[in-house]
Amino acid sequence: DIQMTQSPSSVSASVGDRVTITCRASQDIGDWLAWYQQKPGKAPNLLIYASSTLHSGVPSRFSGSGSGTDFTLTISSLQPEDFTVYYCQQSHTLPWTFGQGTKVEIK
Amino acid sequence: QVQLQESGPGLVKPPETLSLTCTVSGGSISSYYWSWVRQPPGKGLEWIGYIYYYGSTRYNPSLKSRITMSTDTPKNQFSLKLNSVTAADTAVYFCAGGGGPWYFDFWGRGTLVTVSS
């Protein structure tokens, strides 16, 4: 299985800050990467797919980049509703696998 | 707007079979790929498998020997059966769907299934 490793596991930031989360794949996955946001007690929501394509309805402060093994999710200006957990997911090789999650906390 | 709703028992005894159904509304089951994803309490996400409406399936090898997925097109539902469950199968189970099998555009709210005698 392809292992997805996110860093950091948690990050403390303030409203208005720029935050970057990294996801590294254990082998080349091209641009077959998605990012999800999950709030407590809720299902994940798709933010970005194909590494950098914003899903419909997702605010433009979210952006994604990368290819191969290294990917980033950037939130350009944190809003109060953005303090939650984010997951990356690869869909290059079955079984699809997720990163362990990154929690964005209020500083 | 496609909406999904999981249903099934919240408690299953080992080594019985976990059975869940996902009802699709606001869209046709024949238009999308359908997946199951689970999340043990306090932990990360695990993809279980996907099915296309006519029955084509792909399962996670870690669970493959215990999984069966199926669709019921007239009812606009798809289902998951996981047999020989243990406490390790305790999780919130989500049904999800998308235009392709690669990403999950929409999700159900999830249902907690506890495996305990």
- B interface mutation test: which of A96, A100, A102 has the most B CBs within 10 A? A96
Quick one: which of A2, A3, A8, A1 has its CA closest to A86?
A: A8
The Cα–Cα gap between B6 and B110 comes to 6
Does A80 lie at the interface with B, CB-CB under 8 angstroms? no
Q: How confident is residue B54, by pLDDT bands cut at 50, 70 and 90?
A: confident
Reply yes or no on whether the pLDDT at B53 is more than 90: no
What is the pLDDT at residue B64? 84
8 Å CB contact of A87 and B45: yes
A55 contacts in B (CB within 8 Å)?
A: 105
Interatomic CA distance for residues B37 and B35, integer angstroms: 7
Tell me whether residues A98 and B108 touch, CB distance under 8 A: no
Note whether A43 contacts B61, CB cutoff 8 Å. no
The CA distance from B113 to B69, in Å, is 17
What is the DSSP annotation of A21-41? EEEEESS--TT-EEEEEE-TT
B27: tokens are 């869209």
Where residue B43 falls among pLDDT bands split at 50, 70, 90?
very high
Question: How does pLDDT run across A60-88, given as a tens digit for each residue?
Answer: 999 999 999 999 999 999 999 999 999 99
Does the beta carbon of A87 lie under 8 angstroms from any beta carbon of chain B? yes
Q: Which residues pair with A88 in a beta bridge?
A: A35
**Cis link prior to A8 (omega < 30° from 0)?**
yes
- Name A38's Cβ contacts closer than 8 Å, sequence gap at least 6: A44, A45, A84, A85, A86, A87, A101
- Is B44 in Cβ contact with A98 (below 8 Å)? yes
pLDDT at B41 over 90: yes
Q: CA B93, CA B37: separation in Å to the nearest integer?
A: 6
Q: If you count them, how many residues does chain A have?
A: 107
Q: Determine the Cα–Cα distance for residues A37 and B7; give it in Å rounded to an integer.
A: 24
> Cα A91 to the chain's mean position, in Å?
14
- Judged by CB atoms closer than 8 Å, whether chains meet at A36 and B104 is answered as yes
* A31-58: pLDDT as tens digits: 999 999 999 999 999 999 999 999 999 9
**Measured torsion, CA atoms of residues B3, B7, B10, B11, in degrees rounded to the nearest 10:** -140
Better-predicted residue by pLDDT, B75 or B55? B75
The mean of the pLDDT values for chain B is 96
Interface membership of A48 toward B (CB under 8 Å): no
Look at A43 and B110 and tell me if their CB atoms are within 8 Å: yes
Reading the block at residue B91, the tokens are 């999780």
Whole-Å CA distances, B89 to A106, B41, B43: 33, 11, 12
- Which residues on A lie below 8 Å from B101 (Cβ)? 91
Point out the residue among B44, B101, B109 whose CB comes nearest to the CB of A43: B109
The residue type at B93: Y
- Chain B contact for A96, CB < 8 A? yes
Choose the closest CB to A46 out of B58, B60, B103.
Answer: B103
